[in-house]
């Protein structure tokens, strides 16, 4: 075997090894990009445009620069929504100097006008902001936050309830999802955790 032959036979082996490595890397990249579980936050949140009680529009751009909470519900809710907003308020009162806001977005824009929402959140911490919007605006923000909400069957008096998911979203200063805030623990523990983000 001449030296020339052996040097010619080596490169194809290396070329193949490099090609396999390159294919593996590309494959890994595609897998990472196609696996939402690796970055679930990328799927929650996004642009929104909603109405406050004083006739102003609040958008995701207005929330930039500070972490914030988002919660979806409705003012006719008999239990879960008022309980959750009360829990949020207890936590916020432990953070008196922190400029963190908690957005309470209605899933029932038919009854919860911006004025109704503003009146309702008056019972809670002043940093809880009541938000409503057109059915299209509400549908868009529900979709962005992966919220489930459905109108229940009407009762004899015409009243109805809304079946809805109940998650308190912690969003970072860029509007990216951080976590679903666990309020089923002592408020001082929740406040301490939030402080770490503020």
Q: How far is the CB of 25 from Ni ion (least distance, A)?
A: 47
Binding flag, residue 81, Ni ion (CB under 5 A): yes
Q: What angle do CA 93, 69, 161 make, to 5 degrees?
A: 100
Between residues 77 and 141, which has the closer beta carbon with respect to Ni ion?
A: 77
Per DSSP, what are the bridge partners of residue 68? 101, 171
Between residues 81 and 118, which has the closer beta carbon with respect to Ni ion?
A: 81
Q: How far is the CB of 175 from Ni ion (least distance, A)?
A: 24
DSSP state of 75: T
Q: Round to whole Å and give the CA distance between 160 and 156.
A: 9
Between residues 41 and 113, which has the closer beta carbon with respect to Ni ion?
A: 113
Residues 167-178: b if buried by 16+ CB within 10 A, e if exposed:
bbbbbeeebebe
Tokens of 195: 């402080």
Q: Round to whole Å and give the CA distance between 130 and 112.
A: 10
Structural element, H or E, at residue 18: helix 3-34
Q: Helix (H) and strand (E) counts for the chain?
A: 5, 9
Q: In this chain, which stretch among 42-50, 64-72, 80-88, 126-134 interacts with Ni ion, using CB under 5 A?
A: 80-88
Tokens of 49: 């445009």
Q: How far is the CB of 35 from Ni ion (least distance, A)?
A: 32
Between residues 77 and 181, which has the closer beta carbon with respect to Ni ion?
A: 77
Between residues 62 and 119, which has the closer beta carbon with respect to Ni ion?
A: 119
Question: What is the number of the residue whose Cβ is closest to Ni ion?
Answer: 77
Q: How far is the CB of 74 from Ni ion (least distance, A)?
A: 6
* Footprint on residues 40-79 left by Ni ion (CB under 5 A): 73, 77
Tokens of 178: 């951080």
* Footprint on residues 143-172 left by Ni ion (CB under 5 A): none
Q: How far is the CB of 163 from Ni ion (least distance, A)?
A: 9
Among 25, 26, 42, 80, binds Ni ion (CB under 5 A): 80
Q: Which residues bind to Ni ion, rule: CB under 5 A?
A: 73, 77, 80-81
């Amino acid at each position: 075997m001449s030296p020339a032959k052996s040097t010619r036979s080596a490169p194809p082996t290396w070329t193949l090894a490099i090609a396999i490595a390159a294919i593996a890397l590309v494959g890994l990249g595609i897998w990472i990009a196609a696996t939402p579980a690796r970055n679930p936050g990328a799927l929650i949140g996004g642009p929104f445009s909603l109405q406050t009680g004083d006739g102003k529009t609040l958008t995701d751009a207005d929330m930039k620069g500070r972490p914030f909470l988002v919660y979806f519900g409705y003012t006719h809710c008999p239990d879960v929504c008022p309980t959750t907003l009360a829990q949020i308020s207890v936590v916020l009162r432990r953070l008196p100097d922190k400029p963190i806001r908690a957005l309470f977005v209605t899933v029932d824009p038919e009854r919860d006008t911006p004025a109704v929402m503003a009146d309702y959140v008056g019972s809670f911490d002043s940093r809880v902001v009541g938000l409503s919007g057109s059915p299209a605006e509400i549908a868009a923000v529900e979709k962005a936050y992966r919220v489930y909400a459905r109108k229940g069957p009407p009762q004899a008096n015409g009243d109805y309830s809304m079946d809805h998911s109940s998650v308190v979203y912690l969003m970072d200063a860029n509007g990216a999802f951080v976590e679903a805030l666990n309020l089923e623990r002592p408020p001082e523990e929740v406040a301490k955790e939030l402080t770490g983000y503020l």
